[in-house]
Amino acid sequence: MKALSIRQPWPWAIQHLGKRVENRKWNTHYRGDFFIHASQGLTWDELEGFADFVRAEKLSGDVAGQRMRPDSFERGGLVGVARLVDVVKSADLLPAGQRPWFFGPVGFLLADIRSFPLIPCKGALGFFDLPRDIEARAMRMLAA
């Protein structure tokens, strides 16, 4: 199964706030399950932008109790799995509740989100293959 690196706090939003659109600058023909890899990097500016977005959209006043510090988020490994079901290029093609999450220019529509504890591993650009031992460990987590 493929994996896709996503910078925090967006994987957290996928897992906890109902974010079902992953924004990219590139398109893909890939459809199906993939592991969510939480990238290692996270800046204060990214975190503040996320907090501003959450407040503006009234998604959660305190972001569901999450401490808004870079060390609050799992990073540098696999944190779950999702299914890529479609790709859109306009927020108008999304259900109303998902439109605020679309920043474009391309949105990957996600379904069947499942989380598990962090499995440390390196990420990569685009959809990427995992080392066999890491993939096997992640598959065992899903089966449990």
Q: pLDDT digits over 9-61, tens only?
A: 999 999 988 999 999 999 999 999 999 999 999 988 988 888 888 888 877 54
User: By percentage, how much of the chain surpasses pLDDT 90?
Assistant: 69
Instruction: Indicate the CATH number for domain 2-143.
Output: 2.30.130.30
Task: Collect all residues with Cβ–Cβ distance below 8 Å to 63 and sequence separation of at least 6.
Answer: 17, 51, 54
What residues does 36 pair with on adjacent strands?
Answer: 4, 80
Q: Token pair of 22, please?
A: 């992953």
Question: What's the confidence (pLDDT) of residue 69?
Answer: 67
**What is the residue whose two structure tokens read 């998604």?**
59
Higher local confidence (pLDDT), 19 or 68: 19
Average pLDDT over residues 88-102: 91
Question: What's the confidence (pLDDT) of residue 60?
Answer: 59
- The three-state secondary structure class of 45 is helix
Q: Token pair of 29, please?
A: 């023909």
8 A C-beta contact, residue 84 and residue 45: no
For 67, half-sphere exposure in the C-beta direction (CA atoms, 13 angstrom radius) is: 6
Question: What's the confidence (pLDDT) of residue 61?
Answer: 47
Per-chain mean pLDDT for the chain: 90
